Amino acid sequence: MGVIVDQRWQSCRCGTILVRMTDTPAFLDAGRPDVPDIVVPRGVTPFHLPQRPVRGRLVKLGKLADALLLRHDTDDAVTRLRGEALALVAALATALKYRGSFSLNAKGDGAVPMLLADCTDTGALRGYARVDGEKLAAVLAETPEPTAAALLGQGYLAFTVDQGPDMERYQGLVAIEGGSLGTMALHYFDASEQTPCFLRLACARTAAGWRASALILEKIAGAGGVDPEMDSQIADEHWGTATILAETVTDAELLDDDLAPEDLLYRLFHTEGVAADFSRALAYGCRCSRRRLAGLLETFSDEDLDHMAIEGEIVMTCEFCNHDFRFPRQAVRRAGAA
């Protein structure tokens, strides 16, 4: 039986499961599985172009991408899609002020019917892709490097800010349109009439392992640190110049561990002037727990528990970190049962 924790759902033989996290800090939760303890201190570097209506963020996941992506053994095309989703959600989440999680959820009718990635306000990242093996084989038979559109098919893309049960949940939905995940995200921005954006995503297997990165630029209003009296035509020209410069970035530059974020930003925008702000850390962020799942099992009837058991054991798998939690059926009792 598969379980996706933290307000995610997964169909199983006994119906739909919904698990809400508690507020217990991860480092105090003795029921967590042994997963990588990886933090990238400079995972996200915010920046702006002084006297230009442009701000942005450069995301470089470094070794964190390899640790997250290798939890599942999937085809490289699917792994690249997951890596791009992780970089994208990190780039978007770090532009918001919230407490909780910011998530990307793509659902379609293709070889990858579900793609999930989320980032907490503290920078904890995780992601998952459900794969239809038969459909994936058919897609790969046509091309060894399918686009995101070919993998996801027809469906929708959702961005959600979840700050817990006591706060209103914000969600934006848009139909999947475009060939790449970046194009799909930009379609969402256009449809929701948000500020003009530039977005570049990259993910690949390098000599150092899997790496993923994102570069995002946003056009801001004059009051955002820029001369409020700036003529709109001049502002548009500055924005156009910034996006042209951003277009020159290569995947190799984005994925190079030895190329510091400040050096890459200077390489791209030094003719316009660029200022890097304080970096933000990203971390391995699966938040599953044996204790929480044990509490979930107590909510099922004895009949359901018997139905879930295979050879006297109930196995619950976290779809994010791919860790199996095993519970002897005899040790699981309904809450309040004698």
On the question of pLDDT at 11 being above 50, the answer is: no
- Compute the distance between CA of residue 296 and CA of residue 299 in angstroms, rounded to an integer: 6
**Contact (Cβ atoms closer than 8 angstroms) between residue 117 and residue 88:** yes
- Compute the distance between CA of residue 162 and CA of residue 167 in angstroms, rounded to an integer: 8
**Contact (Cβ atoms closer than 8 angstroms) between residue 61 and residue 90:** yes
Phi-psi region of 56 (alpha: psi -120 to 50; beta: other; left: phi over 0): beta
pLDDT at 29: 46
Q: Give rounded-to-5 percent helix, strand, coil for the chain.
A: 30, 30, 40
- Compute the distance between CA of residue 55 and CA of residue 211 in angstroms, rounded to an integer: 24
Mean pLDDT over 195-220 rounds to: 95
Sequence-distant (≥ 6) Cβ neighbours of residue 189 within 8 angstroms? 195, 196, 197
Phi-psi region of 141 (alpha: psi -120 to 50; beta: other; left: phi over 0): alpha
Where would I find the beta strands (DSSP E) of the chain? 2-3, 9-12, 15-18, 39-49, 54-60, 101-108, 114-120, 124-130, 155-162, 170-175, 197-206, 209-219, 275-276, 280-284, 313-318, 323-328
Structural domains of the chain sorted by starting position, each given as residue range(s) with its CATH number in brackets: 1-35+286-333 (3.90.1280.10), 36-284 (3.55.30.10)
Strand-pair partners of 318: 3, 323
Per-residue pLDDT reduced to its tens digit, 144-165: 999 999 999 999 999 998 877 6
In this prediction, residue 100 has a pLDDT band, given cuts at 50, 70 and 90, of confident
Mean pLDDT over 223-250 rounds to: 83
Select, from the ranges 19-33, 44-58, 156-170, the one with the highest average predicted confidence (pLDDT): 44-58
- Compute the distance between CA of residue 265 and CA of residue 256 in angstroms, rounded to an integer: 13
pLDDT at 1: 35
User: What share of the chain in percent tops pLDDT 70?
Assistant: 84
pTM for the whole thing? 0.81
End-to-end CA distance of the chain: 26
